Amino acid sequence: MCAMEDILELYHLPYDPDYPLVCMDESSKQMLKEVRRPIPARPGRPERYDTEYERNGTSNIFMFFEPLAANRYVDITNTRKALDWAFQIKDLADVKYPDAKKIIVVMDNLNTHNGASLYKAFLPEEARRILDRIEFHYTPKHGY
């Protein structure tokens, strides 16, 4: 079965709280700081502002979405490294879905999205324990 068919088959599964289907993605975002004060609105004139800004670092957004239960979890981190991802997966297993038998996670195949990241972050026994609770499914690179 090709990767796209695998993902589509997952989306046809009925809701099962013992096997939640969770989609995961992350994104790095620039933090912008305004450098000029807006001109306040007056009667007949809307507020006006300049688009000049100062770059004020970056943040990473992790999002987990369980479409069949309408659950969404968002976390902001300073970095987007293997350890950040590993701690998010541990939180998913231990805090968000502690009673699930197996969590089905759909995500892209970024180089940090794998079991090796868990082994970097945790002792082997702990990494294995977490991996035993997760079933990874990777979206195809080009959608086919």
**How large is the average pLDDT for residues 60-78?**
95
**How large is the average pLDDT for residues 105-134?**
96
What is the rounded distance in angstroms from the CA atom of residue 50 to the CA atom of residue 79? 29
pLDDT for residue 35? 86
What is the rounded distance in angstroms from the CA atom of residue 104 to the CA atom of residue 101? 10
pTM for this one? Answer: 0.83
pLDDT for residue 33? 86
Task: Please write the tens of the pLDDT for every residue from 121-134.
Answer: 999 999 999 999 99
Instruction: Output 64-72 pairs: Cβ under 8 A, ≥24 positions apart.
Output: 64/22, 64/23, 64/24, 64/88, 64/92, 64/96, 65/22, 65/23, 65/24, 66/20, 66/21, 66/22, 66/23, 67/11, 67/21, 67/23, 68/14, 68/15, 68/20, 68/21, 69/15, 69/17, 69/20, 71/96
Banded pLDDT at 38 (limits 50, 70, 90): confident
Q: Are the beta carbons of 19 and 102 closer than 8 angstroms? A: yes
pLDDT for residue 70? 92
Q: Are the beta carbons of 52 and 84 closer than 8 angstroms? A: no
Other CB atoms within 10 A of residue 142 CB: 7
What is the rounded distance in angstroms from the CA atom of residue 143 to the CA atom of residue 29? 24
**How large is the average pLDDT for residues 99-128?**
96
Other CB atoms within 10 A of residue 91 CB: 15
